Structure formats: C-alpha cells, structure tokens
A = this chain, B = another copy of it.
Amino acid sequence: MKSIPLERHLCFKLYALSRQITQAYRPLLDSLDLTYPQYLVLVVLWEEKTINVKDLGARLLLDSGTLTPLLKRLEQKGLLSRQRDPRDERSVTIGLTRAGSAMKEKVAEMPEVLKNCLALDMDQYHSLMNSLGGLLDNAIRSNTAETN
C-alpha cells in the first residue's frame, strides 16, 4: 500500500502552522509573562467583561480540566478574579482586574506580529478567515454529532 507523504497532509499543515504562529507570538507574550492560551482567555474577557468557566470553555473549545489551572495562574498574576456565583454555587464567574484590562494595550502589536509572520495581504487574509471559519463550524458540528 502506498502511503501519503507528510507534506500532503492537510491536518499536519494546520497543526504545524498553528504551532509556528504561537512561536511567532512568543517573544511578545513572554515579555508580558503570558502564554498563548492565556492570551486567548484575555481576548474573550476584553470582549465580555465577565463570563463563567462553562461559557468561556464553549468560546475557546476548552474544558475545565484545561481552564481551571490556567485561570488560577492568571489569578495568581493578578490579571483576573474568580468567584462562585451566589445565584448558582456550581458556577464560577471570571472577571478582569485593572491589570487584566490594562494588558489589552500591551498586546496592541499582536496583529502586526502575525502579519509579519505570515506575509498575508488583506484579500488572502479575509479569504482564509472565511474558509477556516466554515471548516471550523463543520468540524465542530461533525464532532458534536452524537453517534447514537
């Protein structure tokens, strides 16, 4: 049986590219003592101001096993607060501290870093964004469909 070379694997291109982008962000994020997933949590919080772990997980497609320790680290750094919802003690509400809000200004050059890394023009950017958006929706639907 003939095997398909690594370079023809779409999954590998996505996997490798995603990691390379994280590498490109690393110098800036390191200087802010942030990891890439921690940055993504802040992106959501700059949008939402407040969100519980379940909804944050739904946005980032991450579960509490990943988020709980990550959120504790961000809390340790003084960037966010975690508190049980008094209306539903099962739920934990995440909110930004002043330092967490202020971090938004410090990551202003993130888009520029990505642009330099990928060397994409606006047309390619939007086209790729649309393709990936559709594929992500398909993949989520496909993975969510119960095999009953």
Contacts and interface: CB of A to CB of B under 8 A. Distances in A.
| Copies of this polypeptide in the complex | 2
Contacts of A119: 138, 142
Interface residues of A, number: 57
Interface stretch (A73-81, A85-93, A123-131): A123-131
Given A1-B108, A138-B118, A6 B44 contact: yes
A47 B136 CA distance: 29
A143 B20 contact: yes
A115 to B, nearest CB: 10
A43 B125 contact: no
Interface string A110-148: 010010111110001100110111011011101100000
Given A117-B142, A139-B20, A128 B10 contact: yes
A139 B9 contact: no
Contacts of A116: 142
Interface of A: 1, 3-25, 36, 40, 43-44, 46-47, 59-61, 104-105, 108, 111, 114, 116-120, 124-125, 128-129, 131-133, 135-136, 138-140, 142-143
